[in-house]
Every structure is written in structure tokens, then in C-alpha cells.
Amino acid sequence: MGELRERMMADLVLARYSPRTVEPYLNCARDFAAYFMRSPAEMGEPELREYLLHLVQRQLASPSVQKMHVAALKFLYARTLHRREVAAGIPWPKVPRTLPEILDEAEVEALLAAVDQVHHRLILMTAYGAGLRVKEACRLRVLDIDSRRMLIHVRLGKGAKDRYVPLPRLLLTGLREYWRQVRPPGPALFPGHRNNPCISAAAVQKAVQRALPKAGITKHATPHVLRASFATHLLEDGTNIRVIQVLLGHGSIRSTERYTRVSRRHIGAVTSPLDRLADRKERRPR
């Protein structure tokens, strides 16, 4: 795409899209151009529809990947080419909303105990104890731990938003012991190797996969499952869902409400009509 690619990249950067979004968007635009061997500037809605239909009919993209292509191409035509009408009629695909796996408290305890490296364990304790995304926990700085107010300052979370979350006492004890042993040399609480300022989320993911068999857990669990378990356990303890929304950093309450669909407190409180039939049968005079 040449010059057009550079213009699109500049527009994405000016719009403050994260690097994790910029590269996939550029790749989507590149693949669209390569499919027709023409510049997107020379094409319009018919080519756009044909390309997206090609992805769906050939099963070359999952619903979430298709959604990313739609978002990237809408951005390309609306922002970079100033032809918003080209993609205005392209529908957003319906993406299945799956429910997360949830670990109970005994499984969380077993998983944490099975993690070998102390810094990996502390990151996972932060994900579960404070509801942080794994990347948020990996990027924590020493100054983000406010032991006087018992708060953690989460900087530039998803959506480039700051927030405060409670600092669990057990986590603070672990962090202090870790500090005495490791003494991180820079601002990062969990520094990475070589030129990486902080530990990578992929390293924590691998630590979880190694720990699952040791803990005897057969559920499909990732570091994010600990954040989901944090939200679900708070719901089961009666914490207001609006409070949980703030702690998780969700922009919409709809993102938080999905945890009500996996909460034992909400689902387990429902009496099945089949059980009511059994109750009526027992109450009948004999």
C-alpha cells in the first residue's frame, strides 16, 4: 500500500490506538489490497463486501477476526480516505459471548501454591486479589503500591484509564518479602529480561500452564481466569456489581454483568420448577 499505509498508520497513532491494535489494522488493510491487487483508494463498497464475504464463506476468519477486519476497513475509509459512506453499510458481525471458566477458592489456592517462581506467583496473586488484567499486573511499578492507603494505582489500563484497587494484606506481605529478596533495580516491580522493562504476560501464561497439572486442575485456565474468579467471588459474597465494575475498570456495566451468569450465588439461588413439583408431591396428604 506504500504511502496509503503510512497515512493510515499516522491516523491510528494520532487517534491514540495502542500498538497492539495498529499492527493488526494495518495487516487487515494490506490483505484487502492484496486480494484485489489494487489500492483501497481505487475501490469501494462492492469490493469491500466481496472481500468480507470471501473471508466468511471460505471460513478464513473467526467472528472476532472478521470483526477486526470490519473495524480496520471502516477506519481506513472513514479516517484515512475520507470516504465514510463506503463502509457505512457494512454490518458488524455477531460475535459469540462465551462465559469464562471460574476457579473456586480451593482451586485458586492450589494453583498459586503450584507456581514455581515467586514473581509469577505474585503477579497471579495480584490478578486474583485485586482483579487486575495480567498485563496491568506485569506493568506495575514500585511506586504504584501504596501501603499506607492499602491501594494499588493501576496506570493506563484498558482504554488508557487509571484506577485504584484495594491492596490485599496477604499480597502486601508477599511483595515485601519479594522486595527484600530481589530488590528490583528499576521502577518496574517485576522487571523483564534483557531490554524488556517488565516481565511479559506470555511468561506468566506459561507459568500457569506448568502449574495446572501440579495443582490437579483440569479446567482450561489462563491468568485472566483469576481476574474472572475475583469478580465472581465478590458477587457471591454480596459485593455491589457497580463496585465490581469500578474495580475491574469496565467502561460498561454489561461487561461486568456477564459474571452474574457464572455466579453460584445468583444461579444456585434459583429453584427449579421440577423441584417444586417434588415439593408439592411431598405435601400431599397420604
Q: Which CATH number fits domain 3-88: 3.30.300.10, 1.10.150.130, 3.90.1150.10, 3.30.450.40?
A: 1.10.150.130
**Domain residue limits, the chain:** 3-88, 105-267
Give the model's pLDDT for residue 161: 82
- Which own/partner pairs from 29-35 qualify as long-range (CB within 8 Å, at least 24 positions apart)? 29/1, 29/4, 29/5, 29/72, 29/73, 29/76, 30/1, 30/5, 31/69, 32/69, 32/73, 33/1
Q: How is 27-76 classified by DSSP, letter by letter?
A: HHHHHHHHHHTS-GGG--HHHHHHHHHHHHHTT-S-HHHHHHHHHHHHHI
- Fold assignment, 105-267: hpI Integrase; Chain A (1.10.443)
Separation of alpha carbons 149 and 57, rounded Å? 55
Give the model's pLDDT for residue 96: 80
Exactly one of 5, 67, 224, 266 is catalytic; which is it? Answer: 224
Give the model's pLDDT for residue 282: 63
142 phi, psi to nearest 5 deg: -55, -40
233 is catalytic: no
**pLDDT tens for each residue of the chain, 286 residues long:** 789 999 999 999 999 888 889 999 999 999 999 999 999 999 999 999 999 999 999 888 899 999 999 999 999 999 999 999 999 999 999 988 777 788 999 999 999 999 999 999 999 999 999 999 999 999 999 999 999 999 999 987 777 788 999 899 999 999 999 999 888 887 989 998 877 888 999 999 999 999 999 999 999 889 999 999 998 898 888 888 888 888 888 888 888 877 777 666 666 666 667 666 666 656 666 6
Exactly one of 5, 153, 155, 250 is catalytic; which is it? Answer: 250
Give the model's pLDDT for residue 217: 94
77 is catalytic: no
Contact 35, 54 (CB under 8 A): yes
Separation of alpha carbons 22 and 5, rounded Å? 11
283 is catalytic: no
Who's near 14: CB < 8 A, 6+ residues apart?
Answer: none
Q: Which residue has the cell 486442575?
A: 217
Give the model's pLDDT for residue 265: 63
Exactly one of 121, 139, 227, 233 is catalytic; which is it? Answer: 227
Exactly one of 158, 210, 258, 266 is catalytic; which is it? Answer: 158
Exactly one of 69, 120, 121, 133 is catalytic; which is it? Answer: 133
Separation of alpha carbons 26 and 29, rounded Å? 5
pTM of the model: 0.73
Return the H-helix or E-strand segment holding 211.
helix 201-215
224 is catalytic: yes
Give the model's pLDDT for residue 192: 85
Give the model's pLDDT for residue 113: 94
Angle among Cα 156, 160, 166 to the nearest 5 degrees reads 45
